[in-house]
Amino acid sequence: MKKCHKCGAAIELEEVFRRDECGACGADLHVCLNCEFFERDRANDCREPQAERVVEKDRSNYCDYFRFRQAGEAPSGKGSAKKGWDDLFKK
């Protein structure tokens, strides 16, 4: 299931295009914050090495590598790595 990065509303669209918006809050959907390649602290905050730099991560863009992240897949980065490390050593 796909969810809006801004409000968390379920997105029923099979494919998300550049001009698509969330029906609940009106946020752009074809944005870095909704992409499975988005990862803070990477070059350009993206795991796709060929993607061009996008400055406004919450605004619609023309990235050809965009793939909508499925619900439950948190953006990767230090936060998720730390959580994994902490989970490893839980009592």
**pTM for the whole thing?**
0.77
Count the Cβ atoms, other than its own, within 10 Å of residue 59: 13
Strand 2-3 with 10-11, pairing: antiparallel
Amino acid at 33: L
35 close to 67: Cβ distance less than 8 angstroms: yes
Q: What pLDDT, in 10s, does the model give residues 1-52?
A: 899 999 999 999 999 999 999 999 999 999 999 999 999 988 899 999 999 9
Picking from 65, 8, 13, 7, the residue whose alpha carbon sits closest to that of residue 39 is 65
Q: What pLDDT, in 10s, does the model give residues 67-77?
A: 999 876 655 55
Picking from 39, 40, 5, the residue whose alpha carbon sits closest to that of residue 25 is 5
